[in-house]
Structures are given as C-alpha cells and as structure tokens.
Amino acid sequence: MQLIVTLTFALSLTVLAVASSLDLRVKTTSGTYTGFVNATSAPNVNTWLGIAYAKPPLGNLRFMPPAPAPYYSGSLTAQAYKPICYQNSGARSSIYWKLIPEFLNRDVEDEDCLYLNIWAPRNRKPLQDARPEAKGKGKGKSSASKKRGVPVIIWIVGGGFKEGGGHALYQVPEKWVGRMQSHIVVTFNYRLHVFGFPGASRTAADGNAGLMDVRLLVEWVMDNISGFGGDPNRIILYGQSAGANIAISYSYAYPTDPIIAGIIATSSGTPFTNPTSSPNFHNLAILAGCPNVTSSTSSSPLSQEGSDLLCLQSLPASEIQSHVNTLNSDPFRGLFRPIADNITIFTNLTDRLVQGQVAKIPLIGGFTYNEQALFLPFDESMTTAPPAVPVPGGDGLACGIKREIDRRLTLGGGAANGLRSYRYLFSGNFSNITPRYWLGGMHSSDIPLAFGTHDQFRGSSTELEWQTSFAMQHFWVSFASNPSADPRNAALDQTWPLFTSGQKGQIMVFGNATGLGPSYTASVTVADSYSGPCN
C-alpha cells in the first residue's frame, strides 16, 4: 500500500512539474485559471478542468435560467473535475451500469455543478486536408493569419435528460486532441431532470433551464476560447442522444444568432414537442409535503405553481432528489424532460423550417445500426440475446435524426437555403466496446471511436477499429475546420457527399456491418441506403 501511495504521489508531482513549466494561466470572464499537462497520458495536451461558466444555481436560482459566473479576482486552479449535476439513474440495472460503466458519469453529484473542461493541443497545427481556409461564422472576430485559433468542438453528453456530465471515461478527449493537434474539445455539465427541466410554466422562464445552461456555455466559449488557442468563429456543437436533441433544438431557438458554425448530432434529432406544462412539478411539491399545496386533481394545479416553486427552492437538493426517485416510474424517459415552451423548444417546427426560422448552418447526422439493443432486458448471466421487445420511444433514437435531415431538405430548402446536411451510419461491432455479440452497433457505441478511447478498458482494438476511429475523428475535425465545405479526409482521399434528394452514394458508413446487409470490410465506405433502422 505504501508503494502505491508513493507512486501516486510521484506521478502527481510529475504532472504538476510539467504544468509549472508552461504558461497555462488563462484569464477568462469568470477568473484566471491555471491548467496542467498530464505527462503520463497526454503530454502534448493542455488541460483545464472545472472552470465555472455559471453562478451556482442555488436557492432562488434553483429551476431558473442560469446567471453568468461572477469574476473571481484571485488565482484559480483548473486541475480537477467538479461535481456533476444531480442524476436520476433509477435502479441502475441497465446494460450501461452492469456491463459498460465507462459510458457513464460516476463522479460526486451536487447542485453546484455548472462547470466546463477544456482540452487543447500544445502544438497547434491546421488540419492538412488540402482545402482553403474556412470563412468565419458567428459573432466573434478572428484573423486568417497563421496565429488563427483552432476549431472548437463542444460535446453535449446524452443521458435522457436525467443522467450525464462532462466526465465519462469513454468521453475524455485527450487522446483525440493529442493525436490530431488540430482542434479543441470542451465538455461540460448541464442541469438534469427536475433541476433542469421542471416542466412548470411559471418556473425557469417556461421550464427548460437545462437548455439555457447550454446557451450560456456557448456564450462563455465564444467570449473566452481564444485565450485557450481556439477560434470563436468555428465552434461546433456535437451531441449524442439527448445531447443531439439539445443541439438540434438549439438551432431552432437561435436562428439569427446561433454563435456556432455547425452541428454533429448522433442517435437523436427532431426536438420533442411535449406539452407546454405538466403536473409533475406540482406532484413533486405534494410528495415533498409543501404547505398550501392542493392535490394534483385540483381543477387548476397551475395556480399552485408559485407556492410549489418557493417551497421546492427552500428544501435541500438531496431531499428533492430523493422525492424525484420515488416519483419517477418511467426508466426510459423519466418524468422531467424538456417541454415545448416556444422559446427553447417549439411545437411548430414545420412552420419554422418553411419560414426559415432555423440557424442556417450545416449538420452531420447519423445513428448506429442497432440502437435499441442497449435498452433490452438484461441479466449479466445471459449468454444469448434477449428477446426483441419494443422500446418505448426508442424509434426516436435513430429515426429522429433521419427525420430531421429529411425535413431540412424537403421543408427547409436544403443546401440552397443554407441547410446543408450529411448522413452517416455507424455499423461497427467491436467486442471491446460491446462485450456481448448481440449488442453490436448499440446506442452510444460510436462514442469511443470518435473520442479515441475504444482500447482503454476491455482489451486491444483491431486494425479495423483503429482505422474507423481515425476516419471518424478526421471527418469531425474537417467539418469543424471548414464548416462551409464538404468534410474531407485527405488520408483516404475521400470527400463526404452532400445529402440531396434522389441521388445515390450519399450515406457514409463507418465500420463493419457483417450480418446486417452488405459486409463492409473497410473503415469507411459510401452507401446508397442505410443497413439498419429507418431505411
């Protein structure tokens, strides 16, 4: 035990010694932060962990829109993750929890959780893809000179609006940033379940505080990322599952001032059109024993929202969390989710597309070929695939992003109207990511390939796996580097075809789809149709 402690301490000294020899102090709107370099795992990456982008949402800020983090005049270190926001993980019996926990955020939970993390290359270099430089997008100003910053990819974690945060092991981008030296990745926490989506029309400026967290985060990145070596004109939102839904919703919420230059959305898409309010917040107040609160069968539960809000803002967050766990009876969706407030999420998406009320920025959208396998009944002792059963709402995982791309073309005018789209299918079945053969290309299985973490937890990766990972990483960074052009992979001499109606060869396929249609043996190919759901 003494030897382990000594080695751990020595490693910490090595990391901090490297950091002290570098200028990793960056002044931001929330204070001056000193980052570090992990000399063991990422010696060519500058890292900052736990930077505040919002004021802690405590007391009368609970359930409400976020406020910018105040400026702190003293010295701050950014060398450790901050707590993630309160989760609503239920019984923790899913395949994630039982079999592949590296997809999850397992840090300490707290209500004071609105922090971000940044990974930036130490030796910045432009992506070598033989294309002209991108034209600036967004509100910031930048130069096309050699001092120009690198593009920035903001990762929005999924988790059904009830789980997730900026530090899941499969989603640490240091290997990706270190290998390419051509981009920055930002991860962050946003409020979840009732804390982020109370669903009551008189709270949180109509109930979607978690989506407002995302907007404030994007604004913080725009204002500060140049200090970390990033280009504020080339910010991309990259989201998976609920994170993809948030990214697409964002494009409708800020049609004329998106700040971002593009979106990558995987395994979800078209925003929810849930009711403008629900009784769940009121029912939570009843369960919590709030005074002066009537039964949810009251003729007008909305009339109680003022009392509900004041009461629930006064209780300890841990107590509210406990009551939410008791109240929740839907393990797939959860009770507290975004509502259609016509501010951050809209009910009239068709009209908005037709009228051009959506950000005119490009979109990469795709899904995995076996999305729903992750949500099938699971027992660790199982040796064969469980019986296929319908997953409530599961069709939205794959079909949602396909619908959104189709709508951008048919209703929004497509590329001619600034809505360029690119489609992909992830068809890999790699056993060190999905250690049951029948999981295949399950929901989330593309994430470790994009982040370059696929070989870190369950054995070595195959050559096909490595090449698929490199191809995805390069296309993502190419898209971020020049959002105004088709993504291109110079190493493969391959350009991603724009999606247009009535033409073939427009769907990029990553990985090997053995047993599911054509047997792709290359890391990347182009198909005429999907070999998976939503053909």
Q: Pick the catalytic residue from 89, 182, 201, 241.
A: 241
Q: What angle do CA 14, 18, 22 make, to 5 degrees?
A: 165
Size of the chain, expressed as the number of residues it contains: 535
- Provide the H-helix boundaries in 279-348: 280-287, 305-314, 317-327
- Of 58, 44, 60, 184, nearest to 116 by C-alpha is 184
Supply the DSSP symbol for 62: T
Which residue of the set 282, 443, 454, 474 is catalytic? 443
Is residue 443 flagged as an active site residue? yes
Q: What is the DSSP string of 109-128?
A: B-S---EEEEEEESS-----
- The catalytic residue among 109, 371, 404, 465 is 371
Determine whether 323 is an active site residue. Answer: no
Burial 70-105 (b: 16+ CB within 10 A, else e): eeeeeebbbbebbbbbbbbbbeeebbbbebbbbbbb
Q: Which residues contact 74 (CB under 8 A, 6 or more apart)?
A: 31
User: How many other CB atoms are there within 10 angstroms of residue 283's CB atom?
Assistant: 18
On whether the CB atoms of residues 76 and 31 are closer than 8 A, the answer is yes
Kindly provide the residue ranges of all beta strands, DSSP E only, lying in 122-220, ordered along the sequence: 150-156, 184-188
Secondary structure (DSSP) of 448-505: HHHHT-TTSSSSPPPHHHHHHHHHHHHHHHHHHH-TTS--EETTTTEEPPPP-TT-SS
User: 396 pairs with which residues across the strands?
Assistant: none
For 403, the token pair is: 């619908």
**Residues acting as catalytic residues:** 241, 371, 443
